[in-house]
Amino acid sequence: MALGNTNQQSNRKLLILKLKSKDENDVSLVPNMFQISEKVGDKWVARPELEARVSGNLTKVELGEGEWNKKKYGTVKLFLEDAATDELYLLDLRYNSLSRNLFNSLSALESFDNLSVSNYKSKSKKDDKEYANISLWQGDKMVKGKVALDALPKPEVITNKAGEVIQRDYAEVDTFYKTQLEALVPRVAAAQKA
């Protein structure tokens, strides 16, 4: 099964999946969900239902750049193929706390078949608050990150004069993950040629 609980067949349809953290009423989604868009005529149309997971074989990784409000950001496009439904899924991601966990797990892969990306929620032991998380599975085994959390670069913390955190600069963290993903791109391409 590829998306949700449907077993519908198609003719090699491309579906674009984007992580959504809020619903149409601007209410936070915990866990995050995938919004799925498909081409209808000449337009890309978002499906009304959201999905928690997608699965398939990783066939391609593309790194790029986007721009919003004259500010550039890095993008990562993951292509998953599902032979059972004859569909191709394009996960269109930006660098953020959720996707960085996924990128760390992708870097640990030795093969790229039978993958599943799942959104879920977890509860903080400190304050009992629920948080959105994402996981990568290969078959029935969860893929752990290549680099342990305590060995990952930390964001630069910017504080005001009172010592309060104003923001965190993730530039160094994102550069680290971009390097990991740049090494993944040719590995996935080579696996497709084999």
Residues with Cβ within 8 Å of 88's Cβ and at least 6 positions away in sequence, in order, are 12, 13, 14, 15, 59, 79, 80, 81, 82
Regions of the chain where pLDDT drops below 50: 1, 5-10
Q: What is the pLDDT of residue 18?
A: 94
Q: What is the pLDDT of residue 11?
A: 53
At 44-58, the pLDDT tens digits run: 999 989 999 999 999
Q: Which long-range contacts (CB under 8 A, 24 or more apart) does 142-150 make?
A: 143/105, 143/106, 143/108, 143/109, 144/105, 144/108, 145/101, 145/104, 145/105, 145/107, 145/108, 146/104, 146/105, 146/107, 146/108, 146/180, 147/104, 147/107, 147/180
Q: What is the pLDDT of residue 188?
A: 96
Q: What is the pLDDT of residue 193?
A: 85
At 98-129, the pLDDT tens digits run: 899 999 999 999 999 999 999 999 988 888 88
The pTM of this model reads 0.85
Q: Is 21 left (phi over 0), alpha (psi -120 to 50) or beta?
A: alpha
Nearest to 119 by CA among 14, 1, 18: 18
Q: What is the pLDDT of residue 7?
A: 41
